[in-house]
Structure 1
Amino acid sequence: MALIPTTILTGFLGAGKTTLLNRILQQPHGHKIAIIENEFGQENINNEILVQDSTEQIIEMNNGCICCTVRGDLIVALSSLARRRDAGELQFDHVIIETTGMANPGPVAQTFFVDEEVALHFMLDAIVTVVDAKHAMQQLDQQEEAQRQVGFADKLLLSKTDLVSEAEVAVLMARLTRINPRAAIIRLDPAHTPIAEILDIRGFNLNAKLEIDPDFLAAEESQSDQEQHAHHDHAHSGSDCDHPSHQEDHAHTVEHAPHAHNHHHAHHDDDIAAFVFKSERPFDAARLEEFLDGMIQVYGPRMLRYKGILLMDGADRKVVFQGVHQIMGSDVGGKWDENEIPASKMVFIGKKLPKDIFIRGLEQCLV
């Protein structure tokens, strides 16, 4: 039986997750969705739908959806839903897990990789984060949880954009891109729930295309030019120099994404940030595995999301990899297209990760 695609829906307090779920439950979209309210509290979807004081309550909706509220272990809840589905008691083809507004999505995502029964029935399709355009800048300044929710995301949904100016939206989008360049950003339309933007987006699929915002990469190239210009008097000779800005193949982190510069807004030094590594030279498999294992041992708790397409020495196909904290996986991908230049492209999103250590280490793993 095919794995059930599951979406983790997260976002800071008041971002609009429950409003979004309420619309999903009430519209005739043709999907049969099980929605799990994890650590269900005061912010219920609808008093007529859910019984707030129940420890676990499953209600079937007239559009084929079901709602499940749980206060206990998410693994127990998912396993129970799977068993009842297999027994024919429940019918659903998708699951959406709504986390609490202060939740760290990391442990929820890890559930799909650490528990055998969950892994046999469910596939983590994507982490979708709702971002409150009105209050996000302040939340990102003050709350690390808000930064984590953005950093973990495969897709970002902007809510309440009608309450702010276009200039404010542009500044916020630039900041979100600095934190997480691989997550697509769309605006939520109050009158329409974009089901296709939430379900089956394969954001967590190992074989999915690695999406990195092109403006993020353009800004990196621009910054690289500035770095090299600033160091033009530094004497070095090719590979003998280990400074990241002097390598033939290198990566950098963005300090100012395009359109982010605004004289009326101060630069925000977020704890959660991203950097990208790129190279057209192949990796030595053994050296790369040893290096990544070491980085995960040391920095795993601070590594929110990491994902990449790898060019490996002696391989005629792409190798794709990704991870959450200390859990990392890899798989063989498709062949390189005829008009595609084989190259590795990796993105790391984490809390105060030592970019230079990662970059130098990855460069030493190249053939």
Structure 2
Amino acid sequence: MKSANHPDKRIPATVITGFLGSGKTTLVNHILHKEHGKKIAVIVNEFGEISIDGQLVVQEDQAELVEFNNGCLCCTVRGDLIDTLKDLRDRAGDLDGILIETTGLADPAPVASTFFVADDVKSVIQLDAFVTVVDAVNLAVNLEQSHEAVEQVAFSDVVLINKVDLLEPGALADVEARIRALNPLARIHHTTNAEIDLDHVIDIGAFDLVQKLEVDPGFLEDHEHEHDDDVGSFIIEESRPIDLNRFNLWLNNMAQDMGNNLYRTKGIFHARGFQERIVFQSVRMLTTMRPERRWEDDEVRASQFVVIGRNLDREAFSRGFSQCLVN
């Protein structure tokens, strides 16, 4: 914790966690859009073969983006995180903060311990806070199905209950009660589109190592996080334009057939009738689609569709997606 008498001169690092589709990338973009005049490095980690979220992070002069794909910062690419933090350390004079957006299936403890086990990292970079974004609508089923979702809430310093605008009247109290049962000490804020005052999430000195060790005495020990082997992801890429009406009908049927086993789908589409890239996001049965920037004249127009879930049938998705294309 920082104090007036002994201010911490290290670069504050904020780790943003939350289950798939909670709104982590939206929060990162919200932070980068704000007029704070700070130079911030953004590290994005995705559970999949290619970065969709990384493409959606705003590219500002005041921000630098580092991406890790097809691996999780809490296990397979943790060494890469240490190397990246060392590189950022070497340019410490240029940075005012670091944002780390983890994959939605990350265990927070191994990510946090990275800041304490590497001496040449902890001397320059301070773990400032774990900010966990939760999907208010799907929190109950996420906690029931995923031990990672439980760990993310339990480990957090700050919890943003996102998408409160989509809740039924009276449901917010139950959501808060579920969070308090897992983490009675976290600071809780209610958000829509992950919009929040930056003073609540950046450079707040909320991470308490002593408290974390009380909860998990083996926190600093080197241990591997094992993901559920039944949970996987894949990407479908296609250069032909997609018919959005056909796609929506097909995916809605797939979501109904798979139920809660379909965690998350997202993509950037080359769609018939649009000169813009179409950004698609889906969390279980909740779907959004919006035009983004226009395709550049020299840019290859193609669709990238990412699917994350349990017991996925890649061939079935590939066949169905191909039927949504315009020949």
Count of matched residue pairs: 204
CA distance in structure 1 between the aligned counterparts of 2:150 and 2:56, rounded to whole angstroms: 34
Deviates more, 1:30-39 or 1:9-18: 30-39
CA distance in structure 1 between the aligned counterparts of 2:194 and 2:17, rounded to whole angstroms: 21
Please name the residue that 2:29 is paired with: 22
Structure 1 SS opposite 2:165: helix
* Percent identical residues: 40
Structure 2 CA distance for partners of 1:163 and 1:126, relative to 1, 3 Å: same
Amino acid at match of 2:24: K
Do structure 1's residue 165 and structure 2's residue 168 form an aligned pair?
yes
CA distance in structure 1 between the aligned counterparts of 2:180 and 2:192, rounded to whole angstroms: 21
1:275-308 alpha-carbon deviations (Å, 9 max, x no partner): xxxxxxxxxxxxxxxxxxxxxxxxxxxxxx345x
Do structure 1's residue 197 and structure 2's residue 205 form an aligned pair?
no
Structure 2 SS opposite 1:82: helix
Out of 83, 86, 94, the position equivalent to 1:76 is: 83
Conserved? CA contact 2:29–2:57, under 8 Å: no
CA distance in structure 2 between the aligned counterparts of 1:182 and 1:49, rounded to whole angstroms: 31
Amino acid at match of 1:76: D
**CA apart distance, 1:177:** 0.2
Structure 2 CA distance for partners of 1:97 and 1:49, relative to 1, 3 Å: closer
Please name the residue that 1:129 is paired with: 132
Out of 44, 47, 58, the position equivalent to 2:52 is: 44
Structure 2 CA distance for partners of 1:169 and 1:49, relative to 1, 3 Å: closer
CA distance in structure 2 between the aligned counterparts of 1:147 and 1:112, rounded to whole angstroms: 22
CA distance in structure 2 between the aligned counterparts of 1:49 and 1:157, rounded to whole angstroms: 19
Structure 2 CA distance for partners of 1:180 and 1:205, relative to 1, 3 Å: closer
TM-score, reference length from structure 1:
0.51
Conserved? CA contact 1:18–1:43, under 8 Å: no
Conserved? CA contact 1:106–1:325, under 8 Å: no
Please name the residue that 2:98 is paired with: 95
Structure 2 SS opposite 1:125: strand
**CA apart distance, 1:74:** 0.6
Amino acid at match of 2:197: P
**CA apart distance, 1:192:** 3.6
Structure 1 SS opposite 2:21: coil
CA distance in structure 1 between the aligned counterparts of 2:39 and 2:127, rounded to whole angstroms: 17
Amino acid at match of 2:65: C
Conserved? CA contact 1:35–1:96, under 8 Å: yes
Conserved? CA contact 2:27–2:195, under 8 Å: no
1:48-83 alpha-carbon deviations (Å, 9 max, x no partner): 768xxxxxxxx6x23x22222235411011001111
Please name the residue that 1:4 is paired with: 11
Conserved? CA contact 1:109–1:324, under 8 Å: no
TM-score, reference length from structure 2:
0.57
Do structure 1's residue 146 and structure 2's residue 149 form an aligned pair?
yes
CA distance in structure 2 between the aligned counterparts of 1:138 and 1:167, rounded to whole angstroms: 18
Conserved? CA contact 1:18–1:45, under 8 Å: yes
Conserved? CA contact 1:36–1:67, under 8 Å: yes
Any unmatched runs of 5+ in structure 1? 51-58, 211-304, 308-321, 329-367
Amino acid at match of 2:218: H
CA distance in structure 1 between the aligned counterparts of 2:27 and 2:217, rounded to whole angstroms: 26
CA distance in structure 2 between the aligned counterparts of 1:190 and 1:166, rounded to whole angstroms: 18
Conserved? CA contact 1:14–1:132, under 8 Å: yes
Please name the residue that 2:218 is paired with: 325
Do structure 1's residue 111 and structure 2's residue 109 form an aligned pair?
no
CA distance in structure 2 between the aligned counterparts of 1:48 and 1:175, rounded to whole angstroms: 31
Structure 2 SS opposite 1:67: strand
Structure 2 CA distance for partners of 1:132 and 1:143, relative to 1, 3 Å: same
Structure 2 CA distance for partners of 1:189 and 1:324, relative to 1, 3 Å: farther
Please name the residue that 1:65 is paired with: 63
Do structure 1's residue 177 and structure 2's residue 180 form an aligned pair?
yes
Bigger relative contact order, structure 1 or 2 (CA pairs below 8 A, ≥6 apart): 2
Any unmatched runs of 5+ in structure 2? 1-7, 70-76, 222-327
Please name the residue that 2:323 is paired with: none
Please name the residue that 2:261 is paired with: none
What CA RMSD, in Å, does the superposition of the two structures yield over aligned residues? 2.6
CA distance in structure 1 between the aligned counterparts of 2:57 and 2:173, rounded to whole angstroms: 38
Deviates more, 1:34-43 or 1:146-155: 34-43
Structure 2 CA distance for partners of 1:70 and 1:85, relative to 1, 3 Å: farther
**CA apart distance, 1:191:** 7.9
Amino acid at match of 1:13: L
**CA apart distance, 1:29:** 2.4
